[in-house]
Structure formats: structure tokens, C-alpha cells
Amino acid sequence: MSKTTSQTRAQRRSYEKFLKKTNPIAYKEWKESSIERGKRFEEEQTQFIEDKHTEALESIQNKMIQDLREQGKTQEEIDKHVSVWVKTIKPWGSVEKPLSWKDAVKEYELETSSND
């Protein structure tokens, strides 16, 4: 656990003790809303992690596209490579397993051949 988290928790506990001693009514209201605050905090943290994960994947994808262009690949080859790569990613929080590169290529070829 990080130092700032511990400090934040210590401050909350200190405030809770102070409130309990000085204003029991406000303490009761503060405790009743703690579950809602916790859920809101969890949602914010989850969204933050999802955003960071998405940002990292977009960065990797942009670098990949740039590298493929430098190798002289056509736009069609780049699109295929990116499409296959996306199938090999396990999104954060997802329960489904990512495909291996070989399986992703097979699935891509099935999809593109059925569209023709």
C-alpha cells in the first residue's frame, strides 16, 4: 500500500474519531453515506484504470502502425496486422481469453472470406 493511501486512511480515521466525539448526528450521517462514497470512489478508480489501459494500447497501436509504414507495408497489410493484433489483446476486466496469433489470423481470414 502506498504511503499516500495510508496517510489518507489515517486522516479519515482521525476525522471519524473527531466527528464521533464532537457531533454524533453528523457522524451518523457521515457513516451512512460512506458506502455510497466508497462505490463512487471504486467507479472512479475503475474508470481511471480503464482509461490508462486504453491509452497504453492506443500508444502501442500507433507505434505499431508507424513501424509497419516504415517497413513499406500497404494500408491493407497494416489493417490486417492491426485487426489480428486486436484479437490477441485481453481487455482489462474482461473474462474472455485472448486468441493466440495463429488463431487470430485464422479467425481474421474466416471473417474476411465470408465478407467477400
> Which tens digit of pLDDT belongs to each residue from 43-73?
999 999 989 989 999 999 999 999 999 999 9
Highest mean pLDDT among 5-9, 84-88, 89-93: 84-88
Question: The pTM is what?
Answer: 0.64
Q: What residues make up the domain containing 104?
A: 33-115
For residue 96, tell me if it sits in a domain.
yes
For residue 4, tell me if it sits in a domain.
no
**Residue 3, pLDDT above cutoff 70:** no
For residue 23, tell me if it sits in a domain.
no
Higher pLDDT, 32 or 91: 32
Q: Which of 52, 62, 38, 54 is nearest to 91 (CA)?
A: 54
Write down the pLDDT at residue 82. 93
Report d(CA 112, CA 116) in Å as an integer. Answer: 7
Domain count, the chain: 1
